[in-house]
Amino acid sequence: MTIRPILCGFMVLALAAPVSLVAQEALESAQQDEPEIRTSPILNEQTLRRDIETAGFYELIAWLEGLNQSTAGDRNALAGRLLGYYGLAEEPILEDESTPLVIDSATRTRYFTLDEIDESYVRLSGGVTLTLRDDERDVTHQIVADEVTYNQDLNVLSASGDVIYILDRGGTIERFTGAALTVQLDDWDGAFVHGVTERARTIEGEEVDFSFAGSYITRSSDDVVVMEDGRVTSSTAKPPNYEIHADKIWVLSPGEWGLRNAYLYVGRVAIFYFPFFFRPGNEFFFNPSVGVRDREGRFIQTTTYILGEPEEPESAFSFLQIAEEEGAGGEHKIEGLYLVPDEESDLAPEDSGAVLRILTDIYTKLGAYVAIDGTIPESGVLNNLEVYLGLGMSRHIYPGQGSTYTPYHLMDGEAVTSWNATQIGSVRVPFRFGLGLSAALRGQGYTVSGDVTLFSDSRFQKDFDRRTEQIDWLGLMGQGTPVPEPGLVTSYEWALRGSLTPQVQALNPWLQRVQLQNASIVLRWREESLPEPSEEEGYQTPQEELVWEADGSPETGFFYPDTLQLPNVSGIISGQILRLSSSSAPDGDLESPPESDLRPPWTAESFEPLGPEEYLRLPAPPGAMPPPPIPELWNASVGYTFTPSGLLENTFNSAGWEEAADVDYSLEYSAASGRVGGTLPMALNLLSNAIGLTGSLAMSGQYRTVYNRAGTMEDVAWTSLLQQAYSYSSANATGNMALRVSPFTGSRLWSSSTVSYSLNLLLYQFRYEPLDPAELEALGIEGLEETGPPTHTEWIDWGDESFVRSHQVQLNAVLDVLSGQAVRLTADLPPRALRFVGQLDFGLSPVAISVASGLLQEEDAAGVKSWAYQPITSAQALLLGELGQIQNQISYDWDQDNGAYKFAYNNASATIGPVGAQFEWRSAEEFKFESAGEDWDNDGIAGERWISVSALDDQGNPILQPLPTRAAVTVNLSSELEPMWRSRLLLGGTLTSSWSMNLLRYTESSLSFGLKTNVEITDFLSLSFSSQSMNTQSYVYVESLAEGVGRERRSLVVDLLKSFNFFSTDQKHRTDSAFNLQQIQVNATHNLEDWDLEISYSGRPEIIEVLNLETPEADDTRRVYDWQSSLEIVLQWRAIRELSSNLQADNRTGSDAVTTGSPWDLTFGSDS
């Protein structure tokens, strides 16, 4: 809650001119007043009448019972009886148009007059609660205090003793507390003594409660609030861990406030000083931004909006949000340097989205820049319009001492400066420029868009587009994030694009779609760099030296036209040639639907309830049933699709353009290419789609040619272009047909069963044959241009498999019962190799079984044909629902020599909850391990030690045996424990592990172990740890396997614990362990009330190159593993996110490291 809205809320109390005082004991309290205080008879009469008028019904009854008067009648009668008892004439009750002030509670009421100053008072004491409701503004004010005094003559309200002021704005409640409150109800001058208020601020998505306090707070009649000895903090500690202490805080208007002599205290130490800070409530009309950069120097950037408004900026200091800000909507006018609301304007604010702004920048080193930037969004046929025009006057920047830059260059002992210029053809102009124009039109059936970009040099955006529209206060203080630097512009294009879709409904279905999908003209520009003078030649002119000695001179390159596409078009035409069906009939023959007594429920009319005799009436006899719908016996259709496209591209002859003046727009060569495709789809369906025949004829061709050869083009390059054009040119025609029969469409059990036949043919193809170098040399360029390379044309040959791409018949017998049963037979027909494949699917939940095999006709080199049996494969699955599943795959291959099937492989896998397992058998060779001798090292075995011991057949090939080949197990456990320690402690973790082993050569094994843990202690600590380890020697934990390779058995648990022993000085445990730590990550965040201490550590082994210390003079290096790690410590202020301190350290080494152990390098980050 801000201070100004609370104080300004009291001005609503001015409407309470007739102060209503309601209390059950009012009369008794008035009679018990001190006798020495003189009371006015007029005051007694007025207050007595007001007490009667504001008393409730039961209060009036109690009052009359105390006077022994009758209590009969309604409230008006009771009030009139009391008025008559006291001799007061009844007055007509008028509706009080003022805002009522109601006393909700008060122990004592006292009325008195001070004769010395002739002022009348009403004093309420003892738990006083006053409520003022303003229905017009939907605001409710409430004051709670030990004592409230109202001066009727001066119209002053004073409250003291634990004052609480509550403001309810339509359900949003704000609360203010103080020692004392005094307010003048006429002009609303007021003051709080020792006032405190709280308000929540959202800082980077986190809500933080701030408190605002002042020893003395005043408000003037013109709504200016001044807080003496103001204090701002979000710390809940007593005393606060930090606070902002200002001699004065001014709140001048919504969003407009200032500070004087403000200090930021941490504890009792002042660490930051604001001599003065002012936040204007109205924005500058030119949106200034100031700063300093090494290269450009000091700068001021201004952005003036002619149309539209800038985006709402984030506060530079999120914690300095003293006063609420009002929205910036509505009409504005310029007063001085500010945009202020135009109260006289009757125009309603309209946000069309249009933006037009003027950019003006000045740099002390670089120069000046001015631009116009505008955007008009979608409006009618105008889909979008963007305009940009920028001019810059800049000078060369030269490297200075260290990382500094200067606009001056020493020539012959004299400091000179050089302004940039732009070469436009043969004219040299003393400025740089940028131009952008983008527009799009969209109407019914057409779109047109254009895009033109033009820059004087590639550095224009890099130099002038690095700007903001607000002052970067943190940047001026050395904090904050710098504005990203734009990159170089090395190419751009001028483009005009369009599309056209005319309406052809009148020609439907013969012509369904005609569309010019793309029609474009594109001119592409590229940058060419000027040749830099060599050291031997040196600079020929002083201007050359000024250009090439500069840091990134814009005069070292120029843009030239690269290619021109004129035009690039593509379109599509489609429709139907024929559409017939058995249900087709002329429009006049269509029968109208029979009339029905049914009507929609919303058309029902009201009716009278049925009488008894109507209830006994029998229903009318049913009429004739409507005939069933007649099925469509047949339908047929023939369509067409035509897709042409073409491109004419010209490439400019830029080889000889060494500077901008050389650009003469001459062409190097031109290329024309086109492509056309056509498809005739056909379909015939019989007996309600029980029989379906589909087919299509497709033709496509593409062609490319090159011409307009420049005289400077070499023969090799031209020959290459000709060959590319010929290799692109080709044509082909294809056809396909598919017949599908569904004989049991009327059966619920067999409806998915089908018999199908398909054929896919290559009917024709044309292409140019490629030429080898000898043929190309014999043909020559002239022959290549006139006749081209030899062509290759082929028509369909039924005996050639390359023309019959697919020829197949398929039978699917599907029984929709239980989990689905199916028999599928597929046959590949001549001229393709005969092949028969069968598959049987059986399902009985939760079991599913599938078996498949086939027969293939093969032909050897002598042309002898024989049949080869395909492998028999079977897959079985047992589905266990959420618990998991068990799967098995088995395969048998046909042994041609023995004339029988033999085992190929079996793969079994299971997933039960968090555990998965896999076991595999294969027909494989058998291996035996030979003695390793003394060549063992920690990484395992040096060299190959396994040899095959399988018997050999007659051809010398090893005889394969069914052997277990691989085993694997995975575990994935995750758990979140129930909150402990009064729900303050949260624990969770994840353990992932996987193991796999080659059972033929069991030294080829791997065991991975991953661990993640999370510890959360509310308002104290958040800790996370993750690690990943890898072990390639898991066999050493099994005694028989370890002994088989001559190694000692190890303990898995001990080995794992050793890998985490980071505290041993010689790291021997980690070296001895077979577990290699792949990565480790530790993150901890410690809550320090108003600060967060974040510590993160990460490390992993990396291969680095180090010098061989035995022969350092030979520059000999070797690759070794080294533990590379980094540590970061960040102290982040929660309330003031802009201020933080961080420390980074790492021991990362480069390729030139001398030893594997490198010192830690410390890096200090942003530190306030």
Asked whether the beta carbons of 1008 and 1030 are under 8 A apart, the reply is: yes
Instruction: Specify the pLDDT at position 1016.
Output: 95
Instruction: Specify the pLDDT at position 1103.
Output: 80
Instruction: Specify the pLDDT at position 40.
Output: 43
Split into its structural domains, the chain has a count of 4
Would residue 956 count as lying in a domain?
A: no
Average pLDDT over residues 453-480: 82
Give the HSE-up count for residue 325: Cα atoms under 13 Å, Cβ half-sphere. 18
pLDDT, tens digit (0-9, with 9 covering 90-100), for 1109-1123: 666 565 667 777 777
Domain ends where: 755, 784, 806?
806
Task: Tell me which residue of 188, 136, 194 sits closest to 164, measured CA to CA.
Answer: 194
Q: Residue 469 belongs to what H/E stretch?
A: none
Instruction: Specify the pLDDT at position 750.
Output: 92
780 shares its domain with 898: no
Is residue 1069 over pLDDT 50? yes
Assign residue 904 a region (left: φ > 0; alpha: ψ between -120 and 50; beta: otherwise): alpha
Average pLDDT over residues 587-593: 45
User: 3-state DSSP call for residue 1019?
Assistant: coil
d(CA 52, CA 86): 11
CB atoms within 10 A of CB 577: 12
d(CA 897, CA 892): 15
pLDDT, tens digit (0-9, with 9 covering 90-100), for 192-216: 888 887 777 666 667 777 788 889 8
What token pair was written down for 224? 């200016």
pLDDT, tens digit (0-9, with 9 covering 90-100), for 1124-1157: 889 999 988 877 766 777 788 887 654 333 333 3
Q: Can you name the residues that pair with 901 across neighbouring β-strands?
A: 894
Alpha carbon 92 to its chain centroid, in Å, reads 68
Average pLDDT over residues 409-417: 89
Task: Tell me which residue of 1094, 977, 1091 sits closest to 1024, measured CA to CA.
Answer: 1094
Task: Tell me which residue of 169, 183, 52, 29 sits closest to 108, measured CA to CA.
Answer: 29
Is residue 528 over pLDDT 70? yes
Instruction: Quote the Cα angle for 435-436-437, to 5°.
Output: 130
395 shares its domain with 496: yes
DSSP single-letter state for residue 39: -
Assign residue 64 a region (left: φ > 0; alpha: ψ between -120 and 50; beta: otherwise): alpha
713 shares its domain with 837: no
Task: Work out the pLDDT band at 33, boundaries 50, 70, 90.
Answer: very low
Asked whether the beta carbons of 258 and 246 are under 8 A apart, the reply is: no
User: 3-state DSSP call for residue 1052?
Assistant: helix
Comparing 307-321, 442-456, 696-710, 923-937, which segment has the lowest mean pLDDT? 307-321
Asked whether the beta carbons of 906 and 873 are under 8 A apart, the reply is: no
Average pLDDT over residues 123-145: 81
User: What predicted TM-score, i.e. pTM, was given to this entire model?
Assistant: 0.66
Is residue 592 over pLDDT 50? no
Instruction: Specify the pLDDT at position 807.
Output: 95
981 shares its domain with 1040: yes
Asked whether the beta carbons of 522 and 498 are under 8 A apart, the reply is: no
Would residue 371 count as lying in a domain?
A: yes
Between 315 and 747, the higher pLDDT residue: 747
Q: Can you name the residues that pair with 499 across neighbouring β-strands?
A: 447
846 shares its domain with 873: yes
Would residue 242 count as lying in a domain?
A: no
Is residue 927 over pLDDT 70? yes
CA distances from 277 to 232, 656, 952 (A): 15, 61, 93
Is residue 1160 over pLDDT 90? no
Would residue 636 count as lying in a domain?
A: no
823 shares its domain with 798: no
Express as a percent the part of the chain with pLDDT over 70: 80
Average pLDDT over residues 677-696: 94
Is residue 1 over pLDDT 70? no
Between 357 and 478, the higher pLDDT residue: 357
Pinpoint the alpha helices (H) of 787-906: none
What does DSSP say about strands 915-924 and 936-937: parallel, antiparallel, or unpaired? unpaired
Burial 385-405 (b: 16+ CB within 10 A, else e): bbebebbbebbbbbeeeeeeb
Pinpoint the alpha helices (H) of 326-381: none
Average pLDDT over residues 1083-1087: 94
Task: Work out the pLDDT band at 686, boundaries 50, 70, 90.
Answer: very high
pLDDT, tens digit (0-9, with 9 covering 90-100), for 706-737: 999 998 899 899 999 999 999 999 999 999 99
Is residue 223 over pLDDT 80? no
Task: Work out the pLDDT band at 599, boundaries 50, 70, 90.
Answer: low
What does DSSP say about strands 355-363 and 172-184: parallel, antiparallel, or unpaired? unpaired
pLDDT, tens digit (0-9, with 9 covering 90-100), for 795-805: 999 888 889 99
Average pLDDT over residues 696-702: 96
What token pair was written down for 1141? 């301190």
802 shares its domain with 670: yes
Contacts of residues 1112-1121 at CB distance under 8 Å and 24 or more positions apart, as own/partner, are 1120/1156
Between 632 and 328, the higher pLDDT residue: 632
Asked whether the beta carbons of 250 and 224 are under 8 A apart, the reply is: yes
Would residue 590 count as lying in a domain?
A: no
What token pair was written down for 444? 């019914």
Is residue 96 over pLDDT 70? no
356 shares its domain with 483: yes
Would residue 491 count as lying in a domain?
A: yes
Between 700 and 1122, the higher pLDDT residue: 700
387 shares its domain with 508: yes
* DSSP code string of 72-115: -S-HHHHHHHHHHHTT----------SPPEEEEE-SEEEEEEET
989 shares its domain with 1136: yes
How far the first Cα of the chain sits from its last, in Å, is 29
Comparing 279-283, 394-398, 522-526, which segment has the lowest mean pLDDT? 279-283
Is residue 54 over pLDDT 70? yes
Instruction: Specify the pLDDT at position 1152.
Output: 39
794 shares its domain with 873: no
Would residue 322 count as lying in a domain?
A: no
Q: Which domain holds residue 1136?
A: 967-1164
Domain ends where: 806, 832, 862?
806
Comparing 169-173, 588-592, 1015-1019, which segment has the lowest mean pLDDT? 588-592
1081 shares its domain with 999: yes
Between 820 and 295, the higher pLDDT residue: 295
Would residue 153 count as lying in a domain?
A: no
Average pLDDT over residues 404-427: 90
Average pLDDT over residues 547-560: 92
Instruction: Specify the pLDDT at position 409.
Output: 92
Burial 537-573 (b: 16+ CB within 10 A, else e): eeeeeeeebbbebbeebbbbbbbbbbbbbeebbbbbb
d(CA 678, CA 571): 12
Instruction: Specify the pLDDT at position 330.
Output: 55
Instruction: Specify the pLDDT at position 315.
Output: 53
Asked whether the beta carbons of 235 and 265 are under 8 A apart, the reply is: no
Q: ω before 239 within 30° of 0 (cis)?
A: yes
Tell me whether residue 716 is exposed, middle or buried, using C-beta atoms within 10 angstroms of its C-beta: 0 to 12, 13 to 18, 19 or more. Answer: exposed
d(CA 603, CA 688): 37
313-322, 693-702, 764-773: range with highest mean pLDDT: 693-702
Asked whether the beta carbons of 122 and 155 are under 8 A apart, the reply is: no
d(CA 843, CA 850): 9
d(CA 1035, CA 998): 10
Instruction: Specify the pLDDT at position 535.
Output: 80
Is residue 423 over pLDDT 80? yes
Instruction: Specify the pLDDT at position 232.
Output: 86
Asked whether the beta carbons of 463 and 450 are under 8 A apart, the reply is: no
Residue type at 91 in one-letter notation: E
Instruction: Specify the pLDDT at position 1138.
Output: 65
Instruction: Specify the pLDDT at position 85.
Output: 85
Task: Work out the pLDDT band at 628, boundaries 50, 70, 90.
Answer: low
Between 636 and 1165, the higher pLDDT residue: 636
What token pair was written down for 621? 């006899």
Instruction: Specify the pLDDT at position 845.
Output: 87
Is residue 589 over pLDDT 50? no
Task: Work out the pLDDT band at 680, boundaries 50, 70, 90.
Answer: very high
What token pair was written down for 847? 């079991």
Domain ends where: 503, 530, 557?
530
Mean pLDDT rounded to a whole number for the chain:
82
Is residue 350 over pLDDT 70? no
d(CA 78, CA 63): 9
Is residue 240 over pLDDT 80? yes
